Structure 1
Amino acid sequence: MNITHASFVTLPVGDQGRALRFYTDVLGFETIADRDMPQGRWLQVAPAGAQTVFTLSGPGMGGFEPGSARGIMLVTTDVDADCVRLAQAGVSVQGPDELPWGRMASFADPDGNGLMLLTEKEGF
């Protein structure tokens, strides 16, 4: 196998504009692509410098139900500070909790897609 990385992860959303505002304004992601395609709007976001991007897939694109993605792990250098920032933006955050592999918290985007934040434990 010669796989080097994942190109994109699909996040099914009900309102692409609302999702774009959440991922750029709240999480600080950059807009990578925003194009009108025959089957709908092609919208991708990512943290600065990331190899893997998130496709914010609107209704009817891909056949996924909005909010059905789970287990999306975002690595951060300071989970505690990010949790405070999310809470200040009105996002309900569970944690952070101390785990053998680091400090981790969970939250959902406006559509209910499940996301996690992790500050990895050094040497784990």
Structure 2
Amino acid sequence: MPISSILTVTVPVTDQERALAFYTGVLGFEVRTDNPFPMGRWLTVAPKGAETSLLLAAWFPDMRPIGGLVVAAPDLDALAARLAEHEVAFEGPDPQPWGRQLLFHDPFGNGFVVSQA
């Protein structure tokens, strides 16, 4: 049987509270799960209405930050303003052959590519 969807993407972080503040406070994600877990805390976040969530995992000390997480936003200029307001470095929005995009990293080095939705 073929795979039908992607449920969760693990994003390595070193501090789950700081990650939670960034993803909910800066990016506007919602908490999907926040439960005790044998290795710490099972903490997932996602944009409202999204099917796939991000697992903010602090129990993989050797896991390197991931790059190229591609997400969508309806208004890249508003996102750029919000990132600037929170002093998050970013590039763009810039026109590309496939549309406008903006690049940024979370506080743990995980890289995001945001395409205009």
TM superposition score normalised by structure 1: 0.88
| CA distances 1:24-64 after superposition (whole Å, capped 9, x unpaired) | 00000000001111121110000001110000001x34852
Match of 2:63 in 1: 64
Provide structure 2 residue ranges, at least 5 long, that are not aligned to the other structure.
none
Provide structure 1 residue ranges, at least 5 long, that are not aligned to the other structure.
none
SS in structure 2 at match of 1:96: strand
The residue type equivalent to 1:64 in the other structure is M
TM superposition score normalised by structure 2: 0.93
2:85 pairs with 1:84: no
Match of 2:19 in 1: 19
The residue type equivalent to 1:73 in the other structure is V
- Alpha-carbon distance in 2 for matches of 1:50, 1:118: 15
| CA distances 1:68-110 after superposition (whole Å, capped 9, x unpaired) | 1110011011111111111111100111110111100100101
- Alpha-carbon distance in 1 for matches of 2:30, 2:76: 20
Deviation at 1:3, TM superposition (A): 2.5
Gap change, CA 1:25 and 1:42, over 3 Å in 2: same
Identity %: 45
- Alpha-carbon distance in 2 for matches of 1:70, 1:108: 8
Q: CA RMSD in A?
A: 1.4
Match of 1:106 in 2: 103
